[in-house]
Structure 1
Amino acid sequence: MLKFNHHPRVPGRKGQLLLLGLCLAFSTHTMGQNQVVNLQKTTNSVQSLITAIEKQTSLSVDYRQSTLNLDRKVKTTSRSEKLSSLLDQMLKDTDLEYTLSGRHIIITPKQGRAKAPQQAGVPQKVKGQVVDAKGEPLVGVTVKVKGTTQAAITDMNGNYTIDARRGDTLEFSYVGFTNKEIKADGGKGNVTLSESAETLDQVIVIGYGTVRKADLAGSVGVMDGKKFSDQPITRISDAFQGRISGVQVANSGVPGGTIKIRVRGAGSVNRSNDPLYVIDGIARESGLQGINPEDVQSVQILKDASATAIYGSRGSNGVVLITTKSGHEGRTQVSFDAQIGVSNVAKRYKTLSPYEFATAYNEVHANTFDEASLSDFKNGTKGTDWQDAMFQTGTTRDYKVALSSGNATNQYYVSANYMGQTGAVIETKNERYQARVNLSSDITPWLNIKTDINASHTKTKNFNFGASTENVLWNMLNFSPVTDIRDANGNYVKRDYYCALTSDNPVAMMKENEGQTRHDIFTGHVDLRFNIMKGLTFTTTNGVDYMDTKYYNFTSKKVGDSNGMSNRDGQRMTLQTTNNLTYNGSWGQHSLTATGVFEATRSKYRYMYLAGDNLLTESVKWWNVGLARSRNQDNGYSSWTLLSWVGRVMYNYADRYLVTGTFRADGSSKFFNNKWGYFPSLAVAWSLGNEEFMKRQNVIQDAKVRVSYGLVGSQAIDPYETLGLMRQTGYAFGGTSKYTGFWSGTSVATPDLTWEKTHQFNVGLDFAMLNRSLRFSFDFFKKLTKDGLLKKSMPNYDGGGTYWVNAAEVSNQGLEFSIDANVVNRSSFNWSSTLTGTYLKNEVTSLDNIPYVTGYTPASGLTDAVTRIVKGKPIGSFYLYKWTGLDKDGHDTYADLDNSGTVSEGDRSIIGNANPDFTLGWNNHLTYKNWELNVFFTGAFGAQRLNLMRYSGASMNGKSTFVTLKEAYYESFGKSAHPRYPALNVTGNNYQAASTKWLEDADYLRLDNITLAYNLSKNITKFADLRISLSCQNLFTLTGYKGMDPAGLSFMDSSLGSVDVNDGIDMGAYPLCRTFTIGVKMNF
């Protein structure tokens, strides 16, 4: 029998297991460090490296987020690294080290350095000098100990002294120079700062590509999303006014209502002057609706021909390019923004009280109101303040959430938004639901796929605030204060006996009638970018813009004598494919970017309309057309296509001489014989700042002169308008039945109709001063629109109908400027300011043989056409009698311009203009430690408004001589009125709405927004970076205008005529509101 004795150096079973485990652990450690990790590129973030390690090995990386900067960029020696080498390079120049434990890589602070702060001892004096690249001292440089509030400023010789511990990081910052950091190591700390090219290296989107700002030869307005992120903006269009020169924005004020944006004036007499909106490369028929301002990364507005010609037939009114946010490489970022606001009408009309009205009424109709009634009116037990009844405190709730993250190959950005508003006018409401997903992925080194999707649903409860007698505010001012809202039986008072004008009860109109608009918008596109070779890329972008719009309307018998309903359902789908081949190369001092594009767009529109009157029941409002005694219906379809070829070459020599040439050919199905239009442009620029003679002085930096000329166009006509259209004509032969008699023309064929063409010239100057703390940009521009579309009528003996001709010419010329200033730049206090301004002169230079074009007539017999387009005058001119005052009896008198002895149509003339001559914006951003203050002013000067609200409120019309406005009230003196006041008795009075009596200057300066905010860092809150803000919009307006808002618009329906021709008419524009908003923003 063999016996084995235990040898002390041979392990037993437990020892063998332990030894085996150690061997396996060592084997795993060795094999793990020798594994190769493959990377997409040589420069990656720490987060990307960790992701690659965990994906390609069986190891996990463990660390504390507070010790490791995941966004730090690491440059590796190659794209294939051993794990040990990769970890060494990742942690190089840090106070961190790694160890392998099983299948874990553990990153911890180095033990020797972890105690450095304790070993550093007391702070020491660090002295030094800060100079530029030429060795010149820099005065006013901020020197700060990183992570503390300890700071100092360099003196006249560039010297500084600061207390810092050994190992502390010193930060140096100065306007126009790149920030720099050094380690405090003893008593000396001399630093050389390099001039920053950050502003000039800013990348600008210019349509089908991008360009450095330094290489830009055209005129482009740029607005970064950060410029308006600190203000409570619910619509991106609200951010345009006053922030970009050459751009004018008018807002109807109605929650969810219409906006008007004009880039360097209006060039079309009869057609739209709206700019083209392009979101992430896709032209949008739905404009700016359904866009969450928080999603916007930047806004570029293309203004001159060099910039807009690349959009050819759609660029004559300017182009608004919006780039939305995208994901980023690094750790996941989550933001939440909540804003709650309350608003009230900022200014009201001063109307008569019930007692004042009754007293004035008794002077004309004696004893209408007895003493008891007068007493009740005086003590407030009877009568109505219609403004109190119609206005309320509005609310706004705006919630936004966004999530973004990614690695070296895949990034994403996801956001959602809910915004709900109740207006300051009762029953007005607007809601928006919106979501966005932006994805980007590098499938291979030669292929990138990008997908952007945006979906929104808006629901607006709307009413008539337009230029018509159906306007609810017009009716509000026409109802007398002695009339109650409801009668003794609780029913609405339908008619006001004391009102000379036929009006409906405004409260009943808002409470019982209802209009609702719903927009469902879906936009999306997929980009495939192929990196063919160095400098050569091909990108195909395919997108869709879909909008489904539903209009519902209901009128009740509780308001008027009859009821009715209508539904309109329309869908528009636009498909676009853009194929872009771009070469970007350089050799020596030359650089060249060449772009070729083929683009095809197709749009289809369908609608269905149903209406009914005299409904048998009102219980289901607009859902009961089958119960209507009379019905009407309609439907329609239209389609258009656009094919485009685009070429652009941008050449740069030595960063001094720049040339950009663009050519676009568009073929449109909207035209017949002239389907193709051709749109060239050329721009040159001289960067003086890079010339040697400019480098020898320190007064002016980055000087550049720009000159451009080009041709752009407009195809803003509806499909089929060049065709001759006919309609059925019916006759009744002795009875009620109608029979088809013949087909008559409704429009005349115009096969030779062609594009509106706009010739644009621009010269600009950019430069900086005071070490780039001041930046200036000036542009002079001239736009001449030729072949403008005008609508003519055929005489009845020729068959009747209307048709379009190319006949109008309109000139827009002006000067615009922008001044950016870093007024104060200190360690704890900063003040930056931007001032923009635009002077614009508009003139109709030709109408062919047409003497004039008549504007809009809101109501026959009440306000006839008060606007007119005439050669030599601007678009938006008024056609009025010149009011000369009151005679001794208080009757209106007017100038007899034609010396006929009587006042007649021939005495009217062009007086005043609705569009301002000069607009400005002044934005100020101040920071003090953790506090922020933003103050933003806007202003407009040189415009007039025809205030027909005053006309209606001081009316002498009719038997009851309705007077509401205090300015129209008087006390009689004997048999004649005091000449300062109009006569209450209408007899003998020639009371004209179309007169300068109601024309007012609409100049204003407005404190548009003031926001105070406090920021708390995550180090303090322990959960997120927190920003708390309080804002006020429209705090005050300095103006002499007597209406509610000198910038208000009550004409916004382009189907009734040109908005620019008629928008100076105020028949009850939605009132300007003063809004207070509390906001909380968190970044996790």
Structure 2
Amino acid sequence: MFTSLCGAVLVCILFVNASFAQQNIRGTVTDATSGETLIGVSVLVKGTTTGTQTDVNGMFSINAPANSTLSFTYVGYTTQEVAVSNQTTINIRLASAATQLAQVVVIGYGTQRRRDVTGSVATVNGDELARQPVQTPTQALQGKVAGVQVISSGQPNSQPQVRIRGTGSVLAGAEPLYVVDGVLTDDIRNINNADIISVDVLKDASAAIYGVRGANGVVIITTRKGKIGPPVVRYDANSGFSQLANKVKMANRDQYVAYLNDADPGKIKSSDAAPLTIPGTTDWYGAVLRNAFYMNHNVSVSGGSDKSDYFVSANYLTNNGIIQTNNFQRFTLRENSDINISDKLKLSSQLSLTRGADRAVPLGDTYNSIYRAAPIIPAETANGLYGNTSAWGNVGNPLLQINKTNTLNIGNRVQGNLALDYNPLKFLKLHTAFNDDVVFNNNRSYLYQYNNDASTFTIAGGNQRQTNSSLTAEQNNSYHYVWDNTATYDQTFGESHLVVLGGYSMEKFRSSFINGTRVNVPASPDEWFLSLGDPSLNALDANGGDLYTRQSFFTRANYSFGGKYLLSGTFRRDGSSRFSTRYGNFYTVGAGWVISEESFMKNQKIFSNLKLRGSYGELGNDNIGTGLYVVTAAINQPYYFNNGTLTYGSVIQDIKDTNLKWETTNQLDLGIEYGFLNNRLTGEADYYNKKVKNALTYVSIPGILGDPDNQYVTNAASYKNEGAEVSLNWSDKVGPKFKYSIGANLAYNKNTVIGLNGGQALQGGGVGGQGNVTRTDNGHPIASFYVLQATGIFQNQAQVNAAPTNTYEANKVGGLMYADINHDGKIDANDRIYAGSYQPKFFGGFNVSMSYGDFDLNADFYGNWGNKIYNGKKAYRYSPEDNIESNYANNRWTTSNPSTTDPNVITQSTPASTYFIESGAFLRLNNLSLGYTVPSELLKRAKISRLRIFATSQNLFTAKRYSGFSPELQGLDPNNTTNILSSGIELGTYPTIRTFSFGLNLQF
């Protein structure tokens, strides 16, 4: 018995020793598609800290127990695990993560295989965004997603305007919802592009999972996480400069003087002209604009084990504006980590800290003044005096405007997510996450004191002055949190696969601001405090804030049978404090058929993939002012009774709709996805019909009710966006070294106002003395241009005598002729016509990517056509002394040049007309980059796994018909905030810029 026991123990010892005996494993890691060896792949013995990396030949060698598992991890590739099982040679083929991203998409509160998706969801790889020298990921999205229009600006720290399948609202906002690692936000200017691994865009009713936030689409951003393996260090940097992309040539001295002799006869001969003017020509754009410095540095460290992983990055961005004194800097720190507390419990965290400093400029005033400043007035003299443009009867000197204004906006932002995932059963996952977004903004603006005398200007006089110095300081803070709780059931029954999600979410937003203004504050920046100013002169103080909450219950079910037949459904019940009727219901239903998985498709060689899908649903939009439905009253208002008695009481200030409710959007989507030739050619096509009902608009009320505006906001409008999208992508290789891909997407959209239901047409787009130039009314696109129809130029007095009476300005030879639309014998507002819209009928982009050996070349194009632009800067005349464009100076009507297209002069009385409307079509080379990856054998001694150097250009050239600075225009009001009714008007817009930069991508 003792002998038997000893034998058993010996067998056990031998077995244990055999199990844990270290053996050497060798192998090679290659790319699953190209077969090329991969350098620097992390090889880790799972559950331990033992690891190594592949060498310059893609080979590795590691000691590991026979019963262990090896984990292979490489940035940009899918992690793969292999059991050793007494093997001594293991060769691995890693699949690109780009392929994985194409298969798995983020759909809100979870992910889904692309082949199982029944909605229209587009995905863009983060690496495509990171290579562009832009601040925001949305700007880098231009031209990459069918049906998504991105309107950017050259102004640093500006938020691009995004329209997903057209403009769906006027008063409640048309921007999509952004979700960053689960954090809901409206502003993603704090995101570092290099930290993004993917962007998923929910374009159809599948966005109903976000209820009252999803009507304008949802952009879901996923940032990077650590992977199993030793630490990987990345450093990405690029630096360069930006410049004005397109400069409108202004009139020189001779052209300007000739024009002024017609516009303001005798002005040049006046006695005060000589001291003010110069003999040459002032280039105001050259005096105020510059080549602006751009720099971006990003460093990250990532790694992990099967117990935990981490990703930490730091980013520093300098993005100066092309207007002097316009500077922006941003620092971002991000941490993402996962900790596997046990096999069933995981703790995840994402944290982003951002600090930005924006030295802004008075945009509208400055850029308007540069365009209008007289070219015969000096910008600045050698002794530091400014040319007195205002004394000339012109605008203020724009160089003086920016030099005597110092505006600095400091923004601090903390955005984070803390989540727990618990899997009590294999098929059940419980998730709770607390997301917050905290903002602390401190803004101050100082106006230096200066006079209109000879101590400041080349000559005394004029009206440009700042009598007292002025300091305005503002503190604006906000706190936004969302608490999400979900349970996901994921089970397979034979050929059936069912995933059911149920959840509850609560949300709260609170903001507060306080500001004050004081005059006679000292000029030293060290003394810019309100307490040092004079509170007795024009002291202004204000404070306020906002508060709203949301509460939501939601569920989603996705069902697949045999990987061929797909069904999905979403329901969400949202409550919002922004309405008196608190709750609303939103839903989506979808279906799909993967035809390529049918048995009758197995032997065909045409389609690699073929799927039909469709969805229909209702979404909401509650993006309105919090108190828009709340009736307020003013207290302590005096009132005299008939007997003369004075009494103080309260009075209703305005009329409001107390039953105001959210806008709702019903959307139908029908799509087909296809792949040919072993998926070398892939793409999809969609038709959609999106109708917005209960949209907010203005309705007039009788003046007897006492409302000063004689109108109130209510749900009385309907809009429709109907269109189609198509995208194609071809990828292939020629020989062992040359690889290439070509992609293109195109979208058609028709926007129509289909019912104001008692509402009045909305006027907007004010252009100086011309008044409003856009009108939103039934049967036309939102913010259509509504102007007179210009028919030509009066060539002789006989034409003038025969023309209808012009109520705007007197008819004259060389003046504009207009069509008498209603044939009443006079030209007035009743003769206005609808003359197009800023919204393009077609928009899209295409890209080309190729590599040969160690060289790579990428080009992205973006454009649109079928839209119009109103040349507001040309239409708005501050005074006859305003400068004009050189092209107009050459072509305008004169006795020696009887033009049939351009009038002799444009005055403050010249009405809005089709003369100022031009084509908005353009095609732009959005990004061009050339890179070289240093061969790995040259990097081996420095222990560098990858080094790529590159040169890139953003907006290298634009082919356009528009004569102005840029055909890409955001709708902004005078306060530089979004105003959809002012879209497509170039007035004081910050122009598009061109950027050149050089950089490197380094990985250890």
Q: Verify: 1:296 aligned to 2:196, yes or no.
A: yes
* Corresponding residue for residue 184 of structure 2: 283
Q: Measured at CA, do residues 993 and 420 of structure 1 come closer, stay the same or move farther in structure 2, by a change above 3 Å?
A: farther
With 414-423 and 693-702 compared, the bigger mean Cα shift is at: 693-702
* Corresponding residue for residue 543 of structure 2: 635
Alpha-carbon contact 2:203-2:218 (below 8 Å) kept: yes
Q: Measured at CA, do residues 1074 and 758 of structure 1 come closer, stay the same or move farther in structure 2, by a change above 3 Å?
A: same
Spell out the pairing of 1:375-390 with structure 2 (5 A cutoff). 382-390=280-288
* Corresponding residue for residue 49 of structure 1: 45
Alpha-carbon displacement from aligned partner over 1:620-641 (angstroms, at most 9, x marks no partner): 4863363251111111132111
Spell out the pairing of 1:810-959 with structure 2 (5 A cutoff). 810-857=719-766, 859=768, 862-888=769-795, 889-952=813-876, 955=877, 958=879
Q: Distance in 2 between matches of 1:725 and 1:855?
A: 27
Give the secondary-structure state (helix, strand or coil) at the position aligned to 1:425: coil
Q: Verify: 1:646 aligned to 2:554, yes or no.
A: yes
Alpha-carbon displacement from aligned partner over 1:837-859 (angstroms, at most 9, x marks no partner): 11100001011112311114354
Alpha-carbon contact 1:711-1:759 (below 8 Å) kept: yes
Alpha-carbon contact 2:511-2:546 (below 8 Å) kept: yes
Alpha-carbon contact 1:536-1:581 (below 8 Å) kept: yes
Give the secondary-structure state (helix, strand or coil) at the position aligned to 1:444: coil
Alpha-carbon contact 1:789-1:805 (below 8 Å) kept: yes
Q: Verify: 1:215 aligned to 2:215, yes or no.
A: no
Q: Verify: 1:515 aligned to 2:419, yes or no.
A: no
Alpha-carbon contact 1:786-1:809 (below 8 Å) kept: yes
Q: Distance in 2 between matches of 1:538 and 1:903?
A: 70
Structure 1 residue 731: deviation in Å? 7.3
Alpha-carbon contact 2:159-2:189 (below 8 Å) kept: no
Alpha-carbon contact 2:215-2:621 (below 8 Å) kept: yes
Alpha-carbon contact 1:494-1:560 (below 8 Å) kept: no
Structure 1 residue 36: deviation in Å? 6.8
Give the counterpart of 2:332 among 416, 419, 434.
Answer: 434
Q: Verify: 1:333 aligned to 2:232, yes or no.
A: yes
Alpha-carbon displacement from aligned partner over 1:334-375 (angstroms, at most 9, x marks no partner): 000110011221221111112432344456645836999999
Alpha-carbon displacement from aligned partner over 1:169-192 (angstroms, at most 9, x marks no partner): 999x9xxxx89xxxxxxxxxxxxx
Give the counterpart of 1:664 among 555, 572, 575.
Answer: 572
Give the counterpart of 1:718 among 625, 644, 669.
Answer: 625
Alpha-carbon contact 1:567-1:622 (below 8 Å) kept: no
Structure 1 residue 507: deviation in Å? 0.7
Alpha-carbon displacement from aligned partner over 1:62-107 (angstroms, at most 9, x marks no partner): 9997899779999975899xxxxxxx975954469xxxxxxxxxxx
Q: Measured at CA, do residues 170 and 565 of structure 1 come closer, stay the same or move farther in structure 2, by a change above 3 Å?
A: closer
* Corresponding residue for residue 992 of structure 1: 910
Alpha-carbon contact 2:52-2:60 (below 8 Å) kept: no
Give the counterpart of 1:550 among 442, 447, 472.
Answer: 442
Alpha-carbon contact 1:886-1:979 (below 8 Å) kept: yes
- TM-score (norm: length of structure 1): 0.79
Give the secondary-structure state (helix, strand or coil) at the position aligned to 2:115: helix
* Corresponding residue for residue 390 of structure 2: 496
Q: Distance in 1 between matches of 2:745 and 2:180?
A: 25
Matched to 1:942, the amino acid is G
Matched to 1:854, the amino acid is Q
* Corresponding residue for residue 37 of structure 2: none
* Corresponding residue for residue 1065 of structure 1: 985
Structure 1 residue 492: deviation in Å? 2.7
Q: Verify: 1:600 aligned to 2:509, yes or no.
A: no
Q: Distance in 1 between matches of 2:235 and 2:951?
A: 17
Give the counterpart of 1:788 among 688, 695, 705.
Answer: 695
Alpha-carbon contact 2:179-2:185 (below 8 Å) kept: yes
Give the secondary-structure state (helix, strand or coil) at the position aligned to 2:48: helix
Matched to 1:901, the amino acid is G
Structure 1 residue 800: deviation in Å? 0.9
Structure 1 residue 412: deviation in Å? 0.1
Mind listing any 5+ residue stretches in structure 2 that lack a counterpart?
1-12, 23-40, 71-81, 451-463, 641-645, 796-812
* Corresponding residue for residue 535 of structure 1: 427
With 849-858 and 862-871 compared, the bigger mean Cα shift is at: 849-858
Alpha-carbon contact 1:963-1:969 (below 8 Å) kept: no
Structure 1 residue 258: deviation in Å? 2.8
Alpha-carbon displacement from aligned partner over 1:466-504 (angstroms, at most 9, x marks no partner): 4xxx3x1111111101111247974334543444x5x22
Q: Distance in 1 between matches of 2:217 and 2:947?
A: 38
* Corresponding residue for residue 520 of structure 2: 615
Structure 1 residue 587: deviation in Å? 1.5
Matched to 1:1039, the amino acid is K
Give the counterpart of 1:260 among 140, 161, 166.
Answer: 161
Q: Measured at CA, do residues 439 and 996 of structure 1 come closer, stay the same or move farther in structure 2, by a change above 3 Å?
A: same
Larger Rg: 1
Give the secondary-structure state (helix, strand or coil) at the position aligned to 1:519: strand
Q: Distance in 2 between matches of 1:949 and 1:715?
A: 35
Q: Verify: 1:750 aligned to 2:750, yes or no.
A: no
Q: Measured at CA, do residues 768 and 616 of structure 1 come closer, stay the same or move farther in structure 2, by a change above 3 Å?
A: closer
Alpha-carbon displacement from aligned partner over 1:948-978 (angstroms, at most 9, x marks no partner): 12224xx5x75x4544222332699997873
Alpha-carbon contact 2:667-2:689 (below 8 Å) kept: yes
* Corresponding residue for residue 57 of structure 1: none
Q: Measured at CA, do residues 594 and 912 of structure 1 come closer, stay the same or move farther in structure 2, by a change above 3 Å?
A: same
With 819-828 and 519-528 compared, the bigger mean Cα shift is at: 819-828
Alpha-carbon displacement from aligned partner over 1:403-444 (angstroms, at most 9, x marks no partner): 000011110000000000222221111111000000101011
Q: Distance in 2 between matches of 1:524 and 1:990?
A: 53
* Corresponding residue for residue 798 of structure 1: 705
Alpha-carbon displacement from aligned partner over 1:851-900 (angstroms, at most 9, x marks no partner): 311114354xx241111111111112111111122212211222111222
* Corresponding residue for residue 243 of structure 1: 144
Structure 1 residue 385: deviation in Å? 1.1
Matched to 1:995, the amino acid is S
Q: Distance in 1 between matches of 2:411 and 2:894?
A: 61
Q: Distance in 2 between matches of 1:490 and 1:79?
A: 75
Q: Measured at CA, do residues 298 and 618 of structure 1 come closer, stay the same or move farther in structure 2, by a change above 3 Å?
A: same
* Corresponding residue for residue 29 of structure 2: none
Mind listing any 5+ residue stretches in structure 1 that lack a counterpart?
1-28, 39-44, 55-60, 81-87, 97-168, 180-195, 734-738
Matched to 1:478, the amino acid is R
Matched to 2:514, the amino acid is M
Alpha-carbon displacement from aligned partner over 1:683-723 (angstroms, at most 9, x marks no partner): 00000000011112111221000011111111112222211
Structure 1 residue 302: deviation in Å? 0.5
Alpha-carbon displacement from aligned partner over 1:665-696 (angstroms, at most 9, x marks no partner): 01111111x11110111000000000011112
Q: Measured at CA, do residues 516 and 894 of structure 1 come closer, stay the same or move farther in structure 2, by a change above 3 Å?
A: farther
- TM-score (norm: length of structure 2): 0.85
Structure 1 residue 1053: deviation in Å? 6.8
Q: Distance in 2 between matches of 1:667 and 1:461?
A: 40
Give the counterpart of 1:764 among 671, 678, 691.
Answer: 671
Matched to 2:211, the amino acid is G
Q: Verify: 1:1005 aligned to 2:914, yes or no.
A: no
Length, aligned pairs only: 918
Q: Verify: 1:474 aligned to 2:373, yes or no.
A: no
Give the secondary-structure state (helix, strand or coil) at the position aligned to 1:313: helix
Q: Verify: 1:582 aligned to 2:474, yes or no.
A: no
Q: Measured at CA, do residues 996 and 201 of structure 1 come closer, stay the same or move farther in structure 2, by a change above 3 Å?
A: closer
Q: Measured at CA, do residues 453 and 231 of structure 1 come closer, stay the same or move farther in structure 2, by a change above 3 Å?
A: same
Q: Verify: 1:1021 aligned to 2:920, yes or no.
A: no
Alpha-carbon contact 1:1005-1:1037 (below 8 Å) kept: yes
Q: Measured at CA, do residues 539 and 381 of structure 1 come closer, stay the same or move farther in structure 2, by a change above 3 Å?
A: same
What is the aligned-residue identity percentage? 27
